[in-house]
Structure formats: structure tokens, C-alpha cells
Amino acid sequence: MSEEKPAPASGSILVVGGGISGLTTALEAAEVGYEVFLVEKNPYLGGRVAQLNQYFPKLCPPTCGLEINFRRIKDNPKIHVLTMAEVERIEGKAGDYTVAVRVNPRYVNEKCTCCGACAEVCRTEIPSEFDFGMKTVKAAHLPFAMAFPARYVIDPRILGTEDAERVKAACRYDAVDLEMKPKSLQLNVGAVVWATGWLPYDAKKIDNLGFGRHKNVVTNMMLERMASLNGPTAGAIVRPSDGKPPASVAFVQCAGSRDENHLAYCSYICCMASLKQATYVREKCPAAEIYVFYIDLRAPGYRYERFYDRIKQDPRVHFIKGKVAQLSEDPQTGDLTVVAENAVTGEKIEQKVGLVVLATGMQPTASVHRPPAAVQTTPEGFIRHAPEAGFFAAGCAAKPADVVSSNQNATGMALKAIQTVVRR
């Protein structure tokens, strides 16, 4: 009603995971007026979407939305961001949890000006996990150009080496601290939102598709990095075997998903991701023929159906209903033969292509790294809500979802967390 009352601000909220869902929950709750701790294990925020070149179906850059979210964080003293941090223990009950957080050493402190002198002198190159090992980065590096926080990080593998000393000496701002130790923090919160996200399913486990054995078989997340200007190929789509643009590309849908031997569920995004990636190939390798092998093309709803309609118009994009049985490689050329059965005509297809993209799905992070709390999960590892415990799951920690659904869900979870702390 119209009487004045102060904005409720009792109790704090812990958000575990700083990808798009965690960011959203944290910001939406903080902008209501609640104190939020956002704990992220990586040295940067943004999670999976930070690795994406574009969003479907708008084909817009994810960094655009991330940048605004980072600005919202900068403008809001209610959010406390902890990067390189992991939740170690949660004890207590809804409304009154004690959280032990371990902050791993970054070896670069808050004095970092982002000048880049450390990376310039650093000689050690390490595989870039951000780029799925497709390129190396300096052991002292900025995670990516638009990273938040804008601060360098030093890989512990160079500790004790001359290189580490060189890096330290290069910093004129006393920002390199090679003696940095893990720190333990204790937080008191009333509710916890798990936004621990997903891992790309390990394509090596899908034996018949030869990932890891055949050079020119890549995953959809790898293709995102290739298509990105700040990726391993500076935006070029090329064959790993010879660095040349492929003359043809096959997208293998449900690589691991909808498969009882791997991920029994549908990973939600891969059909739309492949349609989107077909546009990357069309833009960057205009002469390439594209073959999409699918079970069902899951492009539901007006936006996605419209996008799919557009791709269908393209005479170079061919859709084949059929699950891929086998991939084989011509060791001479690195070309691949995709073997599938057309589910409608029954004919056996052997399509030779220059590059294969596996539409690998999402595995919940919690299935690999169990949350250190009494969290209930589905057998697949998706986290279930436990309102009485003040535990909620947002985005792909709860179920496979696209970005827009994750953000809707994450916004709602901010309210669920608020309800938990407002009651106390």
C-alpha cells in the first residue's frame, strides 16, 4: 500500500557461479536492494557465454549483454564478486548459513592496471582452456579482452621459474605477488542459488565419432571459439589438420545427447546452435556446402522457427534426417566420411566433408563437481530446488536451457532467494 517502509534488506544471498545465470540472479536480487555474494571459480565472469561468438537467433555478440551486466555490477555496491573462488562448505539452515569460501591465488593483486607488461615479457605459453586448447596463451594473461574483472592472472605452473621472476620484474605497479596464498573467507547468507552451469560433454567418449582421433572433427564449442575474433584463428573457420577453410562441413546433431549411453536427455540448445553456426560457415567460407544430420530439428517457437526457415532457404545448407553412425577419416587428406541412414528414404548416406562439427551437449557441472552442501540432484546431476532449505538452482544447473530461458529462470530464482531471506 501507500505507506512508507524501508526497502527490505535483511539477509544476504549467495550465488554460486558467475555465468550468465548467476550474473542475472545476482544482479536482479541486488537491484531490489539485497546484498549478494557472487562466487565464481574462473578468474573472470561470464562463464560459457563469454566463449560464444554470437547468440541465436539474433546473431548478436554476447559481450554486449555481458558488458551491461558488468556495468550494473560496477554501479551497485550491494554485489560482492569473488573470482577464482570456490565454495568449500555450507553449514546451517535456511536464513542462516555459514559459507566457507576458498579464494585461490591469482598471483596478481588489485594494483594491476591491465597494462599488459607482464604478458609481454612472459615466455611460457600454456594451452588456453578458454579456447579448448586450440591455442596457447602466455602464462601471464588477461582472460579475454572484455574480461571482468579487468585484471591479469598468472598460471601457477610458472611459479618458481625464471619466467615468474621476469613477469614480476616487468610489473611497475607491484601487482604481481608470487607469494599469494589461498585465502579462506566466511560468509553469512540466508539463501543459496546454485548457478553452476554446464560442461560440454566430453566428445572423446563418443567412440564412433572419432573425436580426438580425427583431426578435422571439432565440437560446437570449439567452432564458437574459432568463429570468435579473439579465438585461436582470429575468426577464421579452418580445418585443424591443414589450417585451410573447409570445402564442406557436416554438423552431427545429438552427439552424445538423446543417447542412453551418454546423455539420455536433449541438451536443448544444439539444434539452434548448429543453425547459427551454419551462418558462421556461410559467412566465412561462402563456397562450403553444409550438411546437417539430425533426429529432430528442435527450433520451437516463433523466433526459432523463423530462424530455421531462413536457414532452410539457403541452397548450400542441406538437412538430412538421420543419426550419424560412423565417421571415418582419409588419412591422406584429412577429409571425413559421414555415414548415416536417411530415416525417411532409408538410403545409406556416405557424405564426404572437409570438417565435422559435433553438436555436443551439456553435462551439468554438478554431475562432475558435486556441490559441497546437502544439495539434491537428479541422476543426471541437475540440481533440484529445495525451498525449505533456501537452496535454488538457476539456469543450466537446473536443466538444459538456452540463454533466454536461463535468464528468465535466473530472474525468478532471485525472487525465490529473496523470499527466503525476507521471511527471517
Partner 1 sequence: MNKKYGVYICQGCGIAEALDIEKLSAVASEEGYAVKTSPVLCGREGIDMLRAEVASGVNTLVIAACSPRVLHDTFRFEGCIVERVNLREHVVWSHPRTVWPAPTPEQKDDESFIDHVQMMAADYLKMALAKVEKIQPPEPYKLETLNRRILVIGGGLTGITAALEAARAGYEVVVVEKEDALGGHARRWRKQLPLEYPYEKPIAPVLQAKLRELEAEPRITVRTSTVVARIAGQPGDFTVTFKKPGEQIEFDVPYPLPPEMRVDENGKELEADQLLERYKEYNQGKVDILTFDPNGEKFGAVVLAAGWRPYRPAEGEFAHLGFGTLADVVTNERFEELAAQGKIKRPSDGREAKSVVFIQSPGAGGDRDFPYAASVTSLVALKQATYVREDYADGKAYILYQHMRTPGLTENFYKAVQQDPGVFLTKANVTRVAGNGKGLVVEAEDTLLGQPIQIPADLVVLATGMVPATKDDPVINLAYRQGPGFRDNAIFDDYADSNYICFPYETQRTGIYAAGGVRRSMTVEEAMEDATGAALKAIQCLESVHRGVSVHPRSGDMSYPDFFFQRCTQCKRCTQECPFGALDDDERGTPKPNPTRCRRCGTCMGACPERIINFANYSIDSVSSMVKAIKVPSTDDFDEPPLRILGLVCENDAYPALDIAALNRLSWSADVRFIPVRCLGSVNVIWIKDALSQGMDGVFLLGCKHGDDYQCHFVKGSELAEIRVKKIGEALASLALEVERVAQFQVAIDEYDKIPQMIQEFVGTIEGLGPNPFKGF
Q: Which residues, including other chains, have CB under 8 Å from residue 153's CB and lie 6 or more apart?
A: 43, 84, 106, 107, 108, 140, 141, 142, 143
Report how far apart the first and last C-alpha atoms of the chain are (Å, whole number): 21
Only one of the segments 97-105, 144-152, 197-205, 242-250 lies at the binding site for partner 1 (rule: CB under 8 A); that segment is 144-152
Minimum separation from the CB atom of position 387 to partner 1 (A): 10
Contact flags string 187-226 toward partner 1, x per CB under 8 A: ----------------------------------------
Are the C-beta atoms of 387 and 420 separated by less than 8 Å?
yes
Where do runs of H (alpha helix) occur along 201-351?
A: 220-227, 270-284, 301-312
Closest CA to 356 of 343, 340, 372, 371: 340
Q: Give yes or no for residue 302 binding partner 1 (CB under 8 A).
A: yes
Site for partner 1 in 305-344 (CB under 8 A): 305, 309, 321, 343-344
Q: Which residue shows C-alpha cell 538444459?
A: 400
Q: Give yes or no for residue 363 binding partner 1 (CB under 8 A).
A: no
Q: Which of 125, 162, 242, 296 binds partner 1 (CB under 8 A)?
A: 296
Site for partner 1 in 369-408 (CB under 8 A): 378, 382, 384, 399-401, 403-405, 407-408
CB nearer to partner 1: give 164 or 417. 417
Cis ω on the peptide bond leading into residue 57 (within 30° of 0)? yes
Minimum separation from the CB atom of position 256 to partner 1 (A): 13
CB nearer to partner 1: give 150 or 159. 150
Q: Which of 113, 184, 188, 208 binds partner 1 (CB under 8 A)?
A: 113
Number of residues that bind partner 1 (CB under 8 A): 86
Minimum separation from the CB atom of position 252 to partner 1 (A): 17
Neighbours of 300 (CB within 10 A): 11
Q: Grid coordinates standing for 364?
A: 551439468
Q: Which of 16, 20, 226, 366 binds partner 1 (CB under 8 A)?
A: 20
Are the C-beta atoms of 43 and 219 separated by less than 8 Å?
no
Are the C-beta atoms of 147 and 187 separated by less than 8 Å?
no
Q: Which of 150, 180, 185, 349 binds partner 1 (CB under 8 A)?
A: 150
How would DSSP label each residue in 52-102? Answer: -S-BTTTTB-HHHHHHHHHHHHHT-TTEEEE-SEEEEEEEEETTEEEEEEE
Q: Which of 89, 93, 111, 424 binds partner 1 (CB under 8 A)?
A: 111
In a 3-state reduction of DSSP, which class is residue 339? strand
Site for partner 1 in 29-88 (CB under 8 A): 31-33, 53, 55, 58-69, 72, 74-76
The rounded distance, in Å, linking the Cα atoms of 119 and 375 is 40
CB nearer to partner 1: give 72 or 352. 72
Q: Give yes or no for residue 258 binding partner 1 (CB under 8 A).
A: yes
CB nearer to partner 1: give 118 or 355. 118
Alpha carbon of residue 60 to chain centroid? 16
Closest CA to 320 of 291, 354, 299, 300: 291
Q: Grid coordinates standing for 43?
A: 578468474
CB nearer to partner 1: give 229 or 287. 229
- Residue 81, beta-bridge partner list: 38
Minimum separation from the CB atom of position 330 to partner 1 (A): 32
Q: Give yes or no for residue 412 binding partner 1 (CB under 8 A).
A: yes
Q: Give yes or no for residue 146 binding partner 1 (CB under 8 A).
A: yes
Minimum separation from the CB atom of position 405 to partner 1 (A): 7
Q: Which residues, including other chains, have CB under 8 Å from residue 316's CB and lie 6 or more apart?
A: 282, 288, 289, 290
CB nearer to partner 1: give 247 or 349. 349
